Amino acid sequence: MATSSQRPTGAPQDLAAHLMDHAMGHLFSAALRTAAQHRLADHLAGGARTAEQLAAATGTHAPHLRRVLRYLAARGIFHEDATGAYRLTPAARPLRTDVPDSLHTAVLMATDELFLRTSAGMPEAVRHGGASFERLFGAPFFDHLGAHPATRQLFDDGMASLSAQVDEAVAEAYPFPGTGTVVDVGGGRGGLLRAVLRRRPQLTGVLFDQAPPLAHHLLDGDELKGRWRTQEGDFFATVPEGGDVYVLKHVLHDWPDDHCRRILRACRAAMAPGRRLLVVDCVLPPGNAPHFGKTLDVAMMTVLDGQERTAEEFATLLSAGGFRLTRVLPTAAFPSIVEAVAE
């Protein structure tokens, strides 16, 4: 057994408790889901309240609720004061449903049984390769969504919630041109395109995706009137022609390399030489540095057989699709902007 003098610098004193706490991390997901389902953050928006007060407001069991609150407070989600009342922390604020940066639906999506079961299948995914989702549910993820409208709605709502901050960060970080057309390929409900067009009043845009997300697009309103259109299609086959800047936000990380090459070639076929392609995804740092992209990477592996990538992996992938990587720009959110030029 290692002595304290042999323990690495910065290692926890109780290594067994530290490891087991991580091993039981599914309880943290369940506690976050409990807080989101009962909208505890909404009930704390007006100030601190005791577990008993929260239980009365939410119709829950006060002793159990207090234990969940205590557990979350130990991890920075809520804070218990000396009187036993709980209040919001910065980390808990996005659980509110009434704030612009709300992650309430994103948390409900990420902690849904659909994804918890998929994560539990990780050992088999590692053993055999491919996504554990398809083995568990009998169909690839997006095919499953197509056959289950309620699940598709949960996914679309959750992704829209998660994307809101990313959209603003990307629109602010990248020097989009003052005129021309931006084509958002696989753009979902169009949150990013909306953020870009708001900042560039002379730009026009095309939102390209499948029918379900397009049916709930976010582009209506007088501010953007006459400056956008939607187009339904399959980005593995063709994408709209004639754009000046093409965007793939959180698209390539859904797919293995061979599928990504098909998407990139479809984009390249629609683009004139010298036009720019922006890939908005996590760019994984080297070494052991923590990064949310490393969490997303194993999520993509189990759900979709996709992956997050390093800058070098993006350069290789883009080259195979007919592009040259020109630069990687960080944003204020977790993904980066990988800029490439059509050759």
Task: Enumerate the active-site residues.
Answer: 253
Report DSSP state, residue 5.
Answer: G
Burial of residue 342 (number of CB atoms within 10 Å: 0-12, 13-18, 19+): buried
What are the φ/ψ torsions at residue 80 (nearest 5 degrees)?
Answer: -95, 125
> Would you state the structure tokens that stand for residue 152, as one six-digit string?
């598709």
Print burial letters for 73-103: b (CB count within 10 Å at least 16), e (below 16): beeebbbbeeeebbebbeebebbbeeeeebb
> Do residues 203 and 180 lie in contact, with contact meaning Cβ atoms separated by under 8 Å?
yes
Residue 10 is which amino acid? Answer: G
Residue 171's SS3 state is helix
Q: Which residues pair with 25 in a beta bridge?
A: none
Q: Which two tokens stand for residue 116?
A: 């918890």
Which H or E run contains 302?
Answer: helix 292-303
